Chains A and B, each alone.
Chain A
Amino acid sequence: LAKTTQPISMDSYEGQEVNITCSHNNIATNDYITWYQQFPSQGPRFIIQGYKTKVTNEVASLFIPADRKSSTLSLPRVSLSDTAVYYCLVGGSFRNRDDKIIFGKGTRLHILP
């Protein structure tokens, strides 16, 4: 089972770029890497997903090295509203019944003015 490890918390300032790294040493061939954002008392919200190399959308970039044992979520120019918990998730292809989805414990990102 691919387990994930993230920093417990991070602080940054408004306008800065924030990079959050997730380790997933036992990632399987079929596993994708997905990041979610969660605000207090709400369900998580999808940010970005990738399999390898780099993926970019309107809110973030995801960098995945060739060995896929880690990934980095990059948030450009953060604002106070980006203060939240960010989860790295590995798995979810469900091509066979042993496939699972594993959420990490999350990184609590605190943006300072």
Chain B
Amino acid sequence: NAGVTQTPKFRVLKTGQSMTLLCAQDMNHEYMYWYRQDPGMGLRLIHYSVGEGTTAKGEVPDGYNVSRLKKQNFLLGLESAAPSQTSVYFCASSYQSPGEQYFGPGTRLTVT
């Protein structure tokens, strides 16, 4: 039982490049979330999903897109990366909401 996994763990992008972060969970959770965490800050919700095929905007959705084609996967896309998107990205999942969220190990993204 791997829990929540994130791919990749680290990435460096140049401004304007695109990439996709993959989150996978094996707990059959309905809810999945993408957060970003900047130095010295709390987590801010980017997008979330309440079930397969559904997505919704969180607190800071601009510059990101998401998809939840399969229940176990939640993808976060950056179409044109900007230095302001340099951050640590965490994915989480939960059986219900509100409820205990299980977090992945994070992806450290640097945009130069």
Contacts and interface: CB of A to CB of B under 8 A. Distances in A.
Contact of A45 (B41, B59, B103): B103
B105 A42 contact: yes
Interface stretch (A10-18, A61-69, A74-82, A97-105): A97-105
Contacts, number: 58
B33 A101 contact: yes
B103 A91 contact: no
A91 B44 CA distance: 13
Interface stretch (B62-70, B72-80, B90-98): B90-98
Contacts of A32: 98
Contact of A94 (B40, B50, B101, B103): B50
A93 B42 contact: no
25 contacts: A42-B103, A42-B105, A43-B90, A43-B92, A43-B105, A44-B101, A44-B103, A45-B103, A46-B100, A46-B102, A49-B100, A91-B98, A94-B48, A94-B56, A97-B56, A100-B45, A100-B58, A101-B45, A101-B48, A101-B58, A102-B59, A103-B42, A104-B42, A105-B41, A106-B42
Interface residues of A, number: 23
A42 to B, nearest CB: 7
B96 to A, nearest CB: 10
Interface of A: 32, 34, 36, 41-46, 49, 87, 91-94, 97, 100-106
Nearest to A103: B42
A92 B104 contact: no
B27 interface: no
Nearest to B6: A43
B104 A103 contact: no
